[in-house]
Amino acid sequence: RMARAGIFFAKGYEEIEALTVVDICRRAGVEAVMVSVDETPSVESSHGVEVKMDAMLSEVDFDSFDILVLPGGMPGTLNLEACGPLMEQLDRFYESGRWVAAICAAPQIFGHRGYLKGRRATSFPAMEKELDGAVVTHGAAEADGNVITGRGMGCAIDFSLKIIEKLISGEAAAEVAEKIVYDR
């Protein structure tokens, strides 16, 4: 079956980070599902961009996802972290060894939840102190164990390609990079 990614949108998300993941997943043949954490049909980004969602948090089957992806942005990251049902599912995915990914400010959620102890990780520079126990690399994107992290909006393509590499293959990621004229 086609791999499925859940990308979670809360009011105040960073639109380039969120939509780059959606775009690159879809180009690679991964089903990318935009999920409204706010239970609203569309969600507004930190820069006032409204995006229509594919599903509401309350109606998604989490077990149909191969990865849960948290975009950054403020206050989007805080709104994701304040969502109890999402955090429960995130913990369940992490503990069962399934993929979890976060970029920019959102890796702080992984830090707070103890996912990063002894793992290589990256985040927006101002959030690095929140990556409890991580080996902070300052890299564009890192994968360690079942955890993928990205540094910021300027690293959204690297982060998305890292997701493709892990869900499908390095070859698939390289093909997408070439198609979008991205020099890795």
Phi, psi of 52, deg, nearest 5? -75, 135
Q: Confidence class of residue 184 from pLDDT cuts 50, 70 and 90?
A: confident
pLDDT in tens, 153-165: 999 999 999 999 9
Averaged over 63-84, what is the pLDDT? 98
Instruction: Look at the alpha carbons of 3, 163, 77, 144 in this order and tell me if their dihedral is positive or negative.
Output: positive
Averaged over 20-42, what is the pLDDT? 98
- pLDDT of the residue at 42: 98
- pLDDT of the residue at 1: 82
Q: Is 155 a catalytic residue?
A: no
Prediction pTM value:
0.98
Question: 25, 83, 104, 155: which is the annotated catalytic residue?
Answer: 104
Averaged over 134-144, what is the pLDDT? 98
pLDDT in tens, 96-138: 999 999 999 999 999 999 999 999 999 999 999 999 999 999 9
